[in-house]
Amino acid sequence: MNWLINDPIVPVFASLFLALILAAAAIPKIRNADEFQGVVANYRLLPSFMVVPFAKLLPWLELGSAIALLVPPMREVAAWVAAGLFMMFAMALAINVGRGRTYIDCGCVRRPASVSRIGMFHVMRALALAAVSLFIANVPVNLSVMTLESVLMGVAAAAMFAMLYLAADVIVGLPEARAKKS
C-alpha cells in the first residue's frame, strides 16, 4: 500500500481521472440545462424554489473542480469539493433507491434520450469517486521527481480508465441489459 503514497504518478493519475469524469459529467449538463433541471426536480429532494439554482450551480462546480484538480495549488481544495459533491450525490441516490424510486435518471453523464436508472451500483460508484477524491486531497504531489515517461503513462492510464468508467455508465443504462436481467 506504500506505493500508493510514495509513487508520485498515482495521485497525478487519480487527479487526471477525476478531472475527466467531472468534466464529462458537467459539460452535457451545461449544454442541456433545461433537461438537467428536470433530472434534479425528479430526485424530489429539494424544495421547488431550490431546483433551478441548484441545477444551474452544480455543473459549474463540477467543471470548476475538474479544472482546479489540474492546477497544483488548487488541487487539494478541488479534491475536497469533489469529495463533498460525490458524497452528496451518493446520499441523494441512496435516498431514492431506499424509496424504491429506481426508475429515475441518475443525471450522472447526460446523453440524448437517457434511459439509465439508478441502483446500488450508482451509490457505490459515487462513494468510490468520493474515496478517490479524498485520496487526492490527502496525498501530496511532488512534481519535481516525476519523469516525462511517468507523466505520459499517468495521462494514458487516466484517459483509459475514464473511458472504461464512461462505457460502464452507458452499458448499465442500456434497456436490453436490464431486460435480460429480469
Span 117-133, average pLDDT: 91
Q: How far apart are CA 8 and CA 38, in angstroms?
A: 41
Closest CA to 36 of 70, 63, 16: 63
Sequence-separated (6 or more) residues with CB below 8 Å from residue 34: none
Q: How far apart are CA 132 and CA 17, in angstroms?
A: 9
Confidence of residue 110 (pLDDT cuts 50, 70, 90): low
Q: Which domain holds residue 102?
A: 2-181
Q: How many domains does the chain have?
A: 1
Q: How far apart are CA 179 and CA 53, in angstroms?
A: 36
8 A C-beta contact, residue 131 and residue 101: no
pLDDT of residue 118: 84
Taking only the tens place, the pLDDT of each residue in 25-81 is 999 999 999 999 999 999 999 999 999 999 999 999 999 999 999 998 999 999 999
More confident residue, 46 or 152: 46
Q: Is a pLDDT exceeding 60 seen at residue 111?
A: no
Taking only the tens place, the pLDDT of each residue in 91-107 is 999 999 999 998 888 78
Q: What are the b/e assignments for 16-36, b being 16+ CB within 10 Å?
A: bbbbbbbbbbbbbbeebeebb
Please provide the average confidence, as pLDDT, over all residues in the chain.
Answer: 84
pLDDT of residue 112: 46
pLDDT of residue 177: 46
Q: Is a pLDDT exceeding 60 seen at residue 182?
A: no
What percent of the chain has a predicted confidence (pLDDT) above 90? 51
**3-state per-residue secondary structure call for 30-88:** HHCHHHHHHHHHHCCCCCHHHHHHHHHHHHHHHHHHHHHCCCHHHHHHHHHHHHHHHHH
Q: Is a pLDDT exceeding 90 seen at residue 119?
A: no
